[in-house]
């Protein structure tokens, strides 16, 4: 696996800290020889990303990108084009919903909260795919992160579950649009992991406990397992796969109620 992605330029979006799924993905891609480009939002996160990128050795390109602004997305990929030219992959690990929307009843979701979750968690994939497309002149792979809450009701996931459902549908439509250019688009549906984002979900520990009891593998998963799946999806080994959602959740998604 050490040279599966040798010479490939891959953009990783969404690293927040060492617990981030995006960081697990970055490590797997790095070990396979990829040249990584990291995006971050604002100076506050830049320091974290720079510190982590330094651990990989070498010089990783860091680019500011606020996915809620079209001009920011265009500018970010303009910088990437100028610095590296061609990209071969993109890992989209970006999602957000207001904490208050992740509790109580979904029926009480605010209009603003709904729009914000959709914008950052689902539309951002469309925006970055559009910006990345002209740079993927040799084909490539786009991978995003989804969750079981987009397929069925998960307590307290609420508006984020609806955003993930939109993300899942976006994966299929983007796969159809970009396939003719040999650009594949897939999603990884990861089981719950203790990340910064997970802290916003009420009773998260109870969710982990249920998975340990019910999942076929009788355990939860970690970042490295998601990272290695992303590596597979970025590599030529998955060249016949597009528009798919791969569950990396110790098998929990196959279990009935």
Return the SS3 of 11: strand
| 195 annotated binding-site participant | yes
User: Distance between alpha carbon 200 and the CA centroid of its chain, in Å?
Assistant: 17
241 appears as a binding residue in the annotation: no
Q: Order the strands of the 183-190 sheet from edge to edge.
A: 61-64, 35-40, 9-13, 89-92, 140-146, 183-190, 245-248
Active site residue 157: yes
Are 182 and 223 within 8 A, CB to CB? no
Q: How far apart are the first and last CA of the chain?
A: 38
Binding residue per annotation — 215?
Answer: no
DSSP letter assigned to residue 151: T
Q: At which residue do the structure tokens 């009935």 appear?
A: 256
| 230 in Cβ contact with 188 (< 8 Å) | yes
66 is in an annotated binding site: yes
The verdict on whether residue 197 carries a ligand-binding annotation is yes
Question: Residue 126 annotated as binding?
Answer: no
Q: Any known ligand binding at 28?
A: no
21 is in an annotated binding site: yes
In the set 40, 114, 147, 252, the catalytic residue is: 147
For residue 146, say whether it is annotated as part of any ligand binding site.
Answer: no
Among 40, 114, 157, 252, the active-site one is 157
80 known ligand binder: no
133 is in an annotated binding site: no
The residues with which 236 forms a beta bridge, in sequence order, are none
Conformational region of residue 251, where left means phi above 0, alpha means psi within -120 to 50, and beta covers everything else: left
- Sign for the CA dihedral angle at 144, 145, 150, 152 comes to positive
In DSSP terms, 61 is beta-bridged to: 37
| Residue 198 among known ligand-binding residues | no
> Annotated binding residues, as ranges?
14, 20-21, 41, 66-67, 94, 97, 164, 193-197
> Annotated binding residues for substrate, as ranges?
97
Residues catalogued as catalytic = 147, 157
């Amino acid at each position: 696996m050490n040279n599966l992605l040798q010479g490939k330029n891959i953009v990783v979006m969404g690293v927040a800290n060492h617990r981030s799924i995006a960081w697990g993905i970055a490590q797997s891609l790095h070990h396979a020889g990829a040249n990584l480009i990291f995006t971050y939002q604002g100076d506050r996160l830049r320091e974290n990303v720079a510190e982590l990128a330094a651990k990989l050795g070498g010089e990783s390109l860091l680019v500011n990108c606020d996915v809620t602004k079209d001009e920011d997305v265009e500018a970010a990929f303009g910088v990437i084009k100028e610095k590296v030219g061609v990209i071969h992959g993109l890992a989209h690990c970006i999602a957000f919903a207001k904490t208050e929307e992740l509790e109580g009843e979904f029926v009480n979701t605010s209009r603003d909260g709904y729009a914000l979750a959709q914008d950052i968690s689902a539309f951002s994939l469309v925006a970055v795919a559009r910006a990345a497309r002209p740079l993927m002149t040799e084909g490539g792979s786009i991978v995003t992160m989804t969750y079981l809450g987009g397929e069925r009701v998960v307590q307290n996931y609420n508006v984020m579950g609806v955003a993930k459902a939109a993300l899942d549908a976006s994966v299929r439509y983007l796969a159809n649009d970009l396939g003719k250019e040999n650009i594949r688009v897939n999603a990884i549906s990861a089981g719950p992991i203790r990340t910064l984002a997970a802290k916003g979900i009420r009773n998260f520990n109870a969710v982990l406990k249920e998975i340990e009891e019910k999942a076929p593998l009788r355990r939860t998963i970690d970042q490295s397992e998601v990272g290695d799946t992303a590596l597979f999806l970025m590599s030529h080994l998955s060249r016949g796969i597009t528009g798919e959602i791969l569950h990396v959740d110790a098998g929990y998604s196959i279990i009935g109620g």
